[in-house]
A and B are shown apart, each in its own frame.
Chain A
Amino acid sequence: MITELDIADLKKITELILQRHGYDFRDYAMSSFKRRVLRILELGGLTIDTLLKQLSDQPDYINDFLDGLTVNVTEMFRDPGFWRLLREEIIPGILLNNKQFKIWHAGCSSGEEVISMNIMLKEMGLMNDVTIIATDLDTVILDKAKSATYPLKNMEVNEKNYIRFQGKYSLKNYYREENGRAIFNPELLKNVSFRRHDLVTGDAFNKFDLILCRNVMIYFNQALQNQVLKKFHNSLFKYGYLAIGTKESLIWCEYVNRFIVVNQEEKVYKKIKD
């Protein structure tokens, strides 16, 4: 088993992917990127050379590679305090100016956050007034997100989060159990459009009232975080909101002064300048 990669190996991989497939991982945070590549090597029984050969010779392999590279570990209602803040302050704040509004889940992974959002909006009676775009780099995980189907064993932690969020019912109201899986009501995705989009190479494509990008930019270095924040700024209406992960920070980004902090604890920002 390979337990260490040097920078030259990682560089070979990022250069090949950039040239052959157009994805740019050169500005990803190195320690986690290295762990992801090591994991792909281990799970696939590969060496650096056989990995490079597969990336070079097998056009479809890139999708599996991207699926292994991206971190797809998430929970419904992760950080329940954040979701209470959304329900009690942020969404009412948006409603002051707009009866209908748009949300972008950037880096939506397997869709737990999208489901959480729509459960919350449904309980607020707002689901029909909201359009959601959910994007990810990884097409394999987007298909999972569209299926709204999750391992039943994940539901314990999801339910605990939902209870801390103080939802109206039980998560069980929203899914049925089948063969060890929780299959959510497809109605919960009727206002959602899933799309493949790469935050690194993709452009701003629409304007939103709220962007959620929680625990995605932690996999980028500061230079890339700075670039991505510009795209988010460009994708928000004035006075729109941006939510990042609770341990993330924007303070070193060039555009930080175009936002104000709405909630420091839950890391919610509001765009105040174009």
Chain B
Amino acid sequence: MSRYNLHNSYKAIVIGGSAGSFQGIIKILSQVSAGFPLPIIMALHRLKHVRHGFVEALSIKSNIKIVEPEDKESIRKGIAYLAPANYHLSVELGNYFSLSTEEMVNNSRPAIDITLSSSAYLYRNKLIGILLSGANRDGAVGMKQIKDKGGLTIVQDPAECMIDTMPKAALSLTTIDHTLSIDNIVAFLKELQQHYK
């Protein structure tokens, strides 16, 4: 019946997005229901000097709480975390976040690769990585690291992306388990949630 062969041992979902991903993110957050059984960790490219407004914009239609974590904040399920403006967001052994102001990676801070890479290291095969529309190659290396550690990899269908460079870069660098439209990513997440009941 299902295409996905899902189970309830995943510990986190990490989502990367850039140009053209905003509407997709909004849709995903508006469709997952409250009490989602995993943390959703989002690294989205954003204006570095605009500290406010992004969480509020994402929150309007979201059923789950959206938080820009502070340094060393614990990671909790059922919350969507957004990398703050002008900081890289990592996860640490011990299941908490850390922030950094290191050099930009792929011309980006927050860089998707940093969040994905540290998540792959922490969660290993218990991680789901999702990469959405975007205009550069950020996230491809991180998706490869997720795959190499046994995690599950999903990209937004390039045919649907406003700008398909980012998912295509990941597709050419590593094995992507599922290439899905936003609607199907939503369906995937709803099905995943059923496994935790």
Contacts of A215 in B (CB 8 A): 101
Q: Judging by beta carbons under 8 Å apart, are B102 and A71 in contact?
A: yes
Q: Which residues of B contact A31 (CB under 8 A)?
A: 90-92, 98, 100, 118, 121
Residues of B80-105 contacting chain A, CB below 8 A: 84, 87, 90-93, 98-103
Q: A222-B72, A225-B72, A249-B72 are in contact. Are A30 and B93 (CB under 8 A)?
A: yes
Interface residues of B in 30-73 (CB under 8 A from A): 49, 51, 68-73
Question: A75 to chain B: closest CB distance in Å?
Answer: 9
Tell me, yes or no, whether A274 is within 8 Å of chain B by CB.
Answer: no
Residues in chain B near residue A74, CB distance under 8 A: 101
B118 cross-chain contacts in A, Cβ below 8 A: 31
What CA separation (Å) do A248 and B72 show in the bound complex? 8
* A96 contacts B by Cβ under 8 Å: no
- The reply on B114 being an interface residue by CB < 8 A is yes
Tell me if B102 and A32 are in contact (CB < 8 A): yes
Distance of A32 Cα from B91 Cα, bound (Å): 10
A241–B99 Cα gap in the complex (Å)?
23
Contact with B along A13-41 (1 / 0, CB 8 A): 00000000000000001111001100000
Q: Are A249 and B73 in contact, CB atoms less than 8 angstroms apart? A: yes
Task: Specify which chain B residues have a CB less than 8 angstroms from the CB of A99 in the assembled complex.
Answer: none
Please tell me if A205 contacts chain B, counting CB pairs below 8 Å: no
B93 touches A219 (CB 8 A): no
* Inter-chain contact B100/A32, CB cutoff 8 Å: yes
Taking a contact as CB atoms closer than 8 A, the residue among A71, A164, A222 that contacts B101 in the complex is: A71
Distance, CA A265 to CA B123, complexed state (A): 32
How far does the Cβ of A32 sit from chain B's closest Cβ, in whole Å?
5
**How far apart sit A3 and B100, CA to CA, in the bound complex (Å)?**
19
Q: Which residues of B in the span 107-128 have a Cβ within 8 Å of any Cβ on A?
A: 114, 118, 121
Which residues from chain B contact A73 at a C-beta distance below 8 Å? 101-103
Does A247 sit at the interface, judged by CB under 8 A?
A: yes
What's the minimum C-beta distance from A10 to chain B, rounded to whole angstroms? 11
Q: Given the interface contacts A160-B49, A247-B87, does A32 sit within 8 Å of B98 by beta carbon?
A: yes
Chain B residues in 8 Å Cβ range of A217: 71
* Cβ contact within 8 Å between A30 and B92: yes
Q: Which residues of B contact A36 (CB under 8 A)?
A: 102
Tell me how far the C-beta of B56 lies from the nearest C-beta in chain A, rounded to whole angstroms.
15
Contact A32 B70 (CB under 8 A): no
Docked complex Cα distance between A215 and B102 (Å)? 10
CB of A66 within 8 Å of the partner chain: no
Say whether B71 contacts A249, CB under 8 Å. Answer: yes
- Within 8 Å of chain B (Cβ to Cβ): is A245? yes
At the interface, yes or no: A252 with Cβ under 8 Å from chain B? yes
A contact residues around B70 at 8 Å (CB)? 247-249
- The smallest C-beta distance from B187 to any residue of chain A, in angstroms, reads 33
Determine how close the nearest CB of chain B comes to the CB of A130; give it in whole angstroms. 26
- Cβ contacts under 8 Å, B101 to chain A: 71, 73-74, 215, 218, 245
Residues 204-223 of chain A: 1 if any B CB is under 8 Å from the residue's CB, otherwise 0? 00000000000101110110
- A247, B84: Cβ atoms under 8 Å? yes
Known: A29-B100, A248-B99. 6 other contacts (CB 8 A): A30-B92, A35-B114, A247-B69, A247-B71, A248-B70, A248-B71
